[in-house]
Amino acid sequence: MATFHYKAAGNDGHVVEGDIQAGDRDAAARALQSQGKIPLQIDAVGHAQAASGAKTRFTRRTTTTGKAIDFFTLELATLLRADLPLGQALDTLADTAEDPAMAKRAQDINKAVRSGQSLSAALAESGPEFDSFYCNMVRAGESGGALGLALERLATFRRHRRETRQALISALLYPSILLVLAVVAVMVLLAFVVPQFTQMFADAGRELPLLTRIVAATGEFVTHWWWAVLAAIAAVVFLIHRDWHTPQGRLRWDARMLRLPFVGALIQKLQTARFSRTLATLLDNGVHLLPALDIAKEIVGNSVMSSALTQVTQRVREGAGLAGPLRDSGMLPALAVKLIGLGETAGKLEFMLLQVADIYDRDVETTMKRLFTLAEPVIIIVIAVMISVIILSVVLVILESNNLAF
């Protein structure tokens, strides 16, 4: 049996704290629920003390993280689904939030709600962290009398998006570290090791082998002009970043990305999954098709696809169905358009949109795993070839030095 420190909400909405003996966190949660309490936080005693210390040290932080918003959404959904009034639920979250900025945000939202505003309006005024998608989901839940369910679906959507992002970052991490270490190793060889050998050979008055001269020139360039290389890279990055943040530049770069072999198809599938899941979530929560399309097209990260979806929305507004304009736009894969058309005809559009999102999420995930799995040996081979060339140039110098000795 282990000791767990818990925070829980009672039937009256007040937060209580205490310790409980249980085999694990799930057992502790079940024990609290049997006592008529709603578990908000359950930690092992040591972990709870560490979290308390961390909270004290970082009380000055003012920004609200995406993770804090995710926890706020899930906990508010849990409390509302347990039939707690909205005001008491917000009071509870303000008292129990570990993030000081989120606690302050919950207090402000609660004040606005108690003054007569709807939750969606209070969230919209609270800050940009609660975007149009978030607020429209909440507004639909309010109008349909299912706010807790809407927040639960919203929490699920945000969790899925966070897990996808974390999987991508994790897949990128090892190849990135490998590439950086390999580049550093090559730079050290070029800047410090090769010049030592070439200098000895140059002192003897003999011409260096061709390969050695090429490697030595590269090393000399790296040693004396590394700052120019870094400055050129920084200038290129700055110019691309500035162009990217103009509407015309963003369209140009997004169009180029879509035309790239392999990469363009991957981007199309990724944005199709994002658009389909967002639209399905909104429709399933009671948002009408036109406002749902207006929101979903803003979620799409590629401006070319977003512009095309704007035209699709206009045609739907004029009375056309959804599948036909999507097919004519050419922005979504043929399979996605076919499935959406079938769902529209059968009256199961939300279900088919979720199926499309699942299909392309799995496709993108599998493709990315294969890509990064292939990238690791490719990086190793390329760096091995570069290091082999450098070592060979040094060996040639050593052999020529031996010839001089005879």
pLDDT in tens, 235-293: 999 998 888 888 888 888 888 888 888 888 888 998 898 888 888 888 887 778 888 88
* Range 2-155 classified under CATH 1.20.81.30: yes
Enter the tokens of residue 288: 């009408």
- pLDDT at residue 205 in the model: 60
Which amino acid belongs to residue 386? M
Decide which of 38 and 346 is more confident. 346
- pLDDT at residue 403 in the model: 59
Q: What number is the average pLDDT over the span 339-353? A: 90
Q: Tell me which of 26-35, 234-243, 384-393 is least confident.
A: 26-35
Percent of the chain with pLDDT over 90: 6
- pLDDT at residue 93 in the model: 84
Distant-in-sequence, close-in-space partners of 61: CB < 8 Å, separation ≥ 6: 99, 100, 101
- pLDDT at residue 369 in the model: 79
Q: What number is the average pLDDT over the span 367-374? A: 80
- pLDDT at residue 12 in the model: 54
Domain 2-155 and domain 156-406, same fold? Reply is yes
Rounded distance, CA 88 to CA 100, Å? Answer: 19
**Closest by CA position to 161, among listed 41, 301, 303:** 301
The CATH class that applies to domain 156-406 reads mainly alpha
- pLDDT at residue 329 in the model: 87
Rounded to 5 degrees, φ, ψ at 4 are: -120, 140
By the 10 Å C-beta count (0-12 exposed, 13-18 middle, 19+ buried), 12 is classed as: exposed
- pLDDT at residue 203 in the model: 64
DSSP string, 303-335: HHHHHHHHHHHHHHHTT--SHHHHHHHT-S-HH
Q: What number is the average pLDDT over the span 80-93? A: 84
Q: Tell me which of 49-58, 87-96, 109-118, 250-259 is least confident.
A: 49-58
Q: Tens digits of per-residue pLDDT, 50-85?
A: 444 434 333 333 456 777 888 888 888 888 888 888
Q: Tens digits of per-residue pLDDT, 35-46?
A: 777 666 677 765
pTM of the complete model beyond 0.85: no
Residue 26 has pLDDT above 50, yes or no: yes
Domain boundaries, the chain: 2-155, 156-406
Decide which of 150 and 268 is more confident. 268
- pLDDT at residue 289 in the model: 87
Name the average pLDDT for the chain: 79
Which amino acid belongs to residue 160? H
- pLDDT at residue 23 in the model: 74
- In 3-state terms, what secondary structure has residue 15? strand
Taking a C-beta distance cutoff of 8 angstroms, is the pair 241, 268 a contact?
A: no
- pLDDT at residue 40 in the model: 64
* Cα–Cα–Cα angle for 316, 146, 110, rounded to 5 degrees: 110
H or E element that contains 16: strand 15-22
- pLDDT at residue 406 in the model: 45
Residue 405 has pLDDT above 60, yes or no: no
